[in-house]
Amino acid sequence: MNPEQIKQFNHDLLKWFHENGRDLPWRRINNPYYTWVSEVMLQQTQVDTVIPYFNRFISLFPTIEALAGATDQEVLKCWEGLGYYSRARHLQQGVREVAEKYDGKVPEDKNELLSIQGIGPYTAGALLSIAFGEPEPAVDGNVMRVMSRVFLIDDDIAKAKTKKKFEKIVGALIAEADPSAFNQSLMDLGALICRPKKPKCDECPLNAHCLAREEGAQLEYPVKSGKAKPRSIDYTVLLIRDAERRYFIEQRPETGLLAGMWQFPMIAWDPNEKEKVLEDAIQKKYGWEVRFVRTSFSYTHRFSHLIWNLSLYEAAIDGTVDPETRTTWEHLDKLTHRPFPVPHQKIIEWIEKNRQNHT
């Protein structure tokens, strides 16, 4: 594109944004902390899902100092159900870095931002442009979709290299006059007009510039390689109560899947195996001799990369179990004070619904 075309492109895009841009909670005032929180929540998560989480999060942790001073369990509880929980952990770590190293002020230097936990190329670009007005690209899935269509770029957007190509393109196009509006307009355009399916090309401010539209090939873009199918794991979930009708729960490890969240004990077990195999596995992992009372509930939970097939076993154990580190006994009505992954929330809901049957 020549300079005149770039100018026209910017004009068309920003005019559309000023008339059609979304009114979102984190856009009402320019607060770098709000922008940061919103950008992290919006990673791999849609706007409509994020809005209530954002409002609750900001009311609980209104400032960098408040979030830095909170416990990780408080933060995790507020994030419960939003997914990708390492985002919450990294956000709090990052905020603590800013509180300590930068006197609680989000730095305006790109390399300093990139050194902060949880801030990668996209979030750094978003903060620099939206919060600080710097002409930095912020390339996400929306931007790659819009740009791949406008410029008919067929590189696989699943590749890391491709994103750099788009950053170069955006860097050459971005309006120095209002980088914040430029980047946010691409996001809104991707969400409202240049959608993956059924794009509203007739309403698009860029349709005069769009090569894919010229070819009638909008739906062929962006090009993206497929992902592997999720693998499936069978688990037996143990529902165990003590004499005071408290449930045994454990906290997951500090790293990996659903880090730091709470759950009922789970044992990987293929139902085609004999029950003896399960009993031995429980003996080995927990040191318990269990007597199964009944199997009562099953639930399948689908993650992006794996599938849990959960079967609930109500069980009794001989003798007593003392709570250890990362395990405890808890009454039903207090379970939800702690963060639980959604599949275990479903189990809690099932217990509450059926409590009269087995209390």
**Residues labelled as active-site residues:** 39
Residue 126 sits in the site that holds DNA (CB under 7 A): yes
Instruction: Please identify, using beta-carbon distances, which residue of 4 and 48 lies nearer to DNA.
Output: 48
Residue 38 sits in the site that holds DNA (CB under 7 A): yes
Name the segment binding DNA (CB under 7 A); options: 40-48, 242-250, 281-289, 347-355: 40-48
Instruction: Please identify, using beta-carbon distances, which residue of 294 and 302 lies nearer to DNA.
Output: 302
Residue 301 sits in the site that holds DNA (CB under 7 A): yes
Instruction: Write out the two tokens for 269.
Output: 């077990």
Residue pointed to by tokens 């979930």: 237
Beta strands in the chain (DSSP E): 231-240, 247-251, 262-263, 266-268, 290-302, 306-317, 327-330
- In whole angstroms, the minimum distance from the beta carbon of 34 to DNA comes to 11
Per rule CB under 7 A, count of chain residues that contact DNA: 63
- Cα separations (Å) of 24 from 20, 27, 188, 257, 307? 12, 5, 11, 31, 34
- The per-residue DSSP string of 74-109 comes to HHHHHHTTS--THHHHHHHHHHHHHHHHSTT-----
Q: How many angstroms from the chain centroid is the CA of residue 203? A: 30
Pick the binder of DNA from 4, 28, 59, 228 (CB under 7 A): 228
Pick the binder of DNA from 51, 191, 201, 321 (CB under 7 A): 191
Of residues 69-98, those binding DNA (CB under 7 A): 81-86, 90
- The per-residue DSSP string of 216-266 comes to T-GGG-S--PPPPPPEEEEEEEEEEB-TT-PEEEEEPPSSSTTTT-EE--E
Pick the binder of DNA from 16, 57, 61, 122 (CB under 7 A): 122
Task: List interacting residues with DNA (CB under 7 A).
Answer: 22, 24, 26-27, 38-39, 42-49, 81-86, 90, 117-124, 126, 140-142, 145, 159-161, 184, 187-188, 190-191, 195-198, 224, 226-229, 256-259, 301, 303-306, 341-343
